[in-house]
């Protein structure tokens, strides 16, 4: 089975307002020939150019909620795609009032877009089904309806053992390919060979979870169960616990506790308040609870190989 490359690129990691170092929220996942963009802060299209993301891939955009710092980049991105004479459709997923916002963009711009846009009003659960993965949504705890998202790949067939196949008389070629894909084969002798006779147990795909603005919530713990990467709001440091609760955000220690409960392999803190010139104190606070943690920086990249390979 061909292994699909998966790259996570942080295009914007600030909360509420940009700084010299951090743009507004946007995270790109390049998976094979597809682009999955989570949130679209102001000037996201410029960040995509700087990060060499490209505008040609099959594109899906997932908006967490309707606060301006998470959606203000949509007009510019749509305009850029129009200027490039894109023909392929763009699908956008998000809260109920997202469709009205996108329609307003097109109406105000007075441009006949050369590509179709489909806006999906989402609820919790599976909201998008790709060839061998799904994107799932869960409502989190913010001041307006807000969704966390998980890209969850399908299970892969177990490791194939050629020597076992030969011992059972399966000739190399198409029958091997069927067994690798999980289908039984019938030999000329009439003997049926099952995949489990020549393959190991199925292997989990990758799971990446993005939770934008939120207070700590069990909804994210559930969504991020055994996640390879959990990207989580950590707007304010632990000393501002009350402000975080009032404004609908999390602190580093709270994000770390969510990651610990979920059994995530890695935690990335994002949506960092502009008040912090250095994110080192936030990192140290999270590390006391969950050691495998980093603070996102603009243009930071993560390549995720398949587990157990």
CA distance 105 to 79: 9
Separation in Å, CA 182 to CA 1, 2, 22, 194, 198: 11, 15, 46, 8, 10
Of 149, 126, 304, 134, which is closest to residue 228 (Cα–Cα)? Answer: 304
Q: Which residues touch 246 (CB under 8 Å, ≥6 apart)?
A: none
Does residue 69 carry a catalytic annotation? yes
109, 79 contact by CB (below 8 A)? yes
CA distance 127 to 10: 23
273, 16 contact by CB (below 8 A)? yes
The catalytic position among 69, 213, 233, 237 is: 69
The residue with tokens 């989990």 is: 204
126, 136 contact by CB (below 8 A)? yes
CA distance 192 to 36: 41
CA distance 282 to 279: 5
Number of H helices, E strands in the chain: 11, 18
Angle made by CA atoms 283, 288, 289, in degrees to the nearest 5: 105
Active site amino acids: 69
């Amino acid at each position: 089975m061909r292994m699909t490359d998966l790259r996570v690129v942080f295009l914007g990691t600030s909360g509420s307002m940009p700084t010299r170092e951090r743009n507004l929220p946007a995270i790109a996942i390049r998976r094979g020939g597809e682009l999955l963009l989570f949130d679209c802060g102001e000037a996201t299209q410029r960040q995509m150019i700087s990060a060499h993301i490209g505008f040609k891939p099959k594109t899906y955009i997932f908006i967490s909620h309707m606060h301006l710092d998470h959606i203000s980049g949509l007009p510019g991105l749509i305009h850029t795609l129009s200027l490039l004479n894109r023909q392929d459709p763009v699908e956008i997923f998000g809260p109920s009032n997202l469709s009205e916002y996108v329609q307003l963009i097109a109406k105000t711009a007075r441009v006949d877009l050369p590509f179709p846009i489909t806006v999906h009003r989402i609820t919790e659960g599976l909201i998008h089904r790709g060839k061998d993965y799904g994107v799932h949504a869960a409502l989190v705890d913010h001041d307006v309806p807000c969704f966390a998202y998980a890209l969850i790949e399908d299970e892969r067939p177990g490791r194939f053992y050629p020597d076992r196949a030969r011992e059972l008389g399966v000739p190399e070629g198409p029958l091997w390919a069927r067994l690798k894909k999980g289908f039984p084969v019938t030999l000329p002798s009439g003997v049926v060979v099952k995949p489990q006779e020549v393959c190991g147990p199925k292997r989990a795909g990758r799971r990446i979870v993005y939770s934008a603005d939120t207070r700590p919530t069990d909804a994210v713990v559930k969504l991020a169960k055994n996640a390879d990467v959990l990207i989580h709001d950590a707007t304010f440091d632990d000393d501002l616990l009350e402000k975080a609760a009032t404004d609908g955000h999390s602190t580093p220690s709270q994000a770390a506790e969510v990651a610990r409960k979920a059994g995530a392999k890695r935690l990335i803190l994002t949506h960092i308040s502009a008040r912090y010139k250095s994110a080192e104190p936030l990192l140290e606070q999270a590390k006391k609870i969950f050691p495998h943690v980093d603070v996102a920086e603009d243009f930071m990249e993560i390549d995720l190989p398949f587990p157990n390979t």
